[in-house]
């Protein structure tokens, strides 16, 4: 699905956010990206969803070299990628069905989009998407009356209605409680598994990454520090990835560095002490 070769992104001519990144992500794969704040993970995701252009290297989506895309071809390719953000990016005063149906705007004519504001189109499809994320009863509720977790589910339903080939989730559970975070991450992984859509998720929580994703990429200072199956992760991987971060950030990631560099999570040791 993705192939990156020596990908590079620089801001203001000197701030290197993504530096010489090469990797491949297969169709239907589930991949977690972890790392400290400021590592360049969000910039990497903005490159993957084609809202930023790289300053060097190459990026392919399937067999398309995205650096060659412009205008309508670029817009059509972006519709193949659905992005879920930490901020839900919903219209608070609109009903849930209108926010969910925003995922169809790329496929509709301007006339149909305007008409849908008056009389929602494709109601059965919208109801099915909301059922899949567990809130069908909220179809006509005002979005600003929902909890944060329910609003995130609306954002997921919007992506389902977009029907992309790839789902990119950039810190989708950073603002919810741990139990709800597990439920949302599990939901997205299950959607990927049942639909065959590729899922790449940027996470602060090491525990979530190790629990739900078969492949984990460690990202720091704009570079890949490791890329391996979750079952092969080691204490040394996390020591290198979270070295010198503040105690509060390590706790937010769900890892706590002792003097002996042994890491634990809120659910217990990630790796047994030797």
Residue 48 forms part of a structural domain: yes
Burial 71-85 (b: 16+ CB within 10 A, else e): eeeeeebbebbbbbb
Q: For 67, which DSSP code?
A: G
pTM: 0.84
Residue 4 forms part of a structural domain: yes
Quote the domain boundaries for residue 6. 1-80+202-274
Domain count, the chain: 1
Residue 49 forms part of a structural domain: yes
Residue 136 forms part of a structural domain: no
Residue 243 forms part of a structural domain: yes
Neighbouring residues of 189: CB distance < 8 A, sequence distance ≥ 6: 30, 199, 212, 213
CA dihedral 134, 137, 139, 143 (to 10 degrees): -80
Q: Find the CATH number of the domain harbouring 255.
A: 3.40.50.300
pLDDT of residue 261: 43
Residue 71 forms part of a structural domain: yes
Residue 135 forms part of a structural domain: no
pLDDT of residue 230: 92
Instruction: Estimate the crossing angle of helix 148-162 against helix 123-132, to 10 degrees.
Output: 130
Segment 96-139, tens digit of pLDDT: 999 999 888 877 677 777 777 777 888 888 999 999 888 999 99
Helix (H), strand (E), coil (C) string for 30-63: EEEEECCCCCCHHHHHHHHCCCCCCCEEEEEECC
Q: How far apart are CA 96 and CA 255, in angstroms?
A: 36
Per-residue confidence in pLDDT tens, the chain, 274 aa: 999 999 999 998 788 899 999 999 999 999 999 988 888 899 999 999 999 999 999 999 998 998 878 898 898 898 899 999 878 888 899 999 999 998 888 776 777 777 777 778 888 889 999 998 889 999 999 999 998 889 989 998 999 999 999 999 998 887 778 888 898 899 899 999 999 999 999 998 899 999 999 999 999 999 999 999 999 988 888 888 888 776 666 666 666 554 344 444 444 445 443 3
Cβ–Cβ < 8 Å for 6, 57? yes
Residue 174 forms part of a structural domain: no
Q: How far apart are CA 42 and CA 245, in angstroms?
A: 18
pLDDT of residue 270: 52
Segment 193-230, tens digit of pLDDT: 999 999 999 998 899 999 999 999 999 999 999 999 99
pLDDT of residue 45: 92
């Amino acid at each position: 699905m993705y192939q990156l070769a020596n990908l590079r992104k620089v801001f203001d001519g000197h701030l290197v956010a993504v530096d010489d990144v090469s990797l491949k992500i297969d169709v239907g794969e589930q991949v977690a990206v972890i790392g400290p704040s400021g590592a360049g993970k969000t910039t990497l995701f903005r490159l993957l969803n084609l809202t930023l252009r790289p300053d060097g290297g190459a990026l392919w989506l399937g067999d398309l070299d995205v650096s060659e895309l412009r205008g309508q071809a670029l817009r059509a390719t972006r519709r193949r990628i659905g992005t879920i953000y930490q901020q839900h990016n919903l219209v608070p005063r609109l009903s849930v069905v209108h926010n969910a149906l925003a995922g169809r705007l790329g496929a509709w004519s301007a006339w149909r989009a305007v008409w849908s504001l008056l009389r929602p189109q494709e109601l059965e499809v919208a109801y099915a998407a909301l059922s899949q994320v567990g809130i069908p009863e909220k179809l006509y509720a005002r979005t600003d009356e929902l909890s944060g977790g329910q609003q995130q589910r609306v954002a997921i339903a919007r992506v389902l209605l977009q029907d992309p080939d790839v789902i990119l989730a950039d810190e989708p559970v950073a603002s919810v409680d741990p139990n709800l975070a597990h439920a949302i991450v599990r939901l997205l992984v299950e959607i990927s598994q049942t639909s065959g859509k590729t899922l790449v998720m940027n996470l602060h929580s090491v525990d979530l990454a190790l629990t739900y994703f078969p492949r984990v990429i460690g990202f720091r200072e704009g570079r890949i520090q490791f890329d391996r199956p979750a079952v092969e992760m080691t204490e040394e991987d996390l020591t290198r990835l979270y070295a010198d971060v503040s105690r509060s950030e390590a706790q937010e990631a769900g890892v706590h560095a002792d003097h002996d560099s042994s890491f634990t999570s809120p659910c217990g040791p990630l790796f047994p002490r030797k």
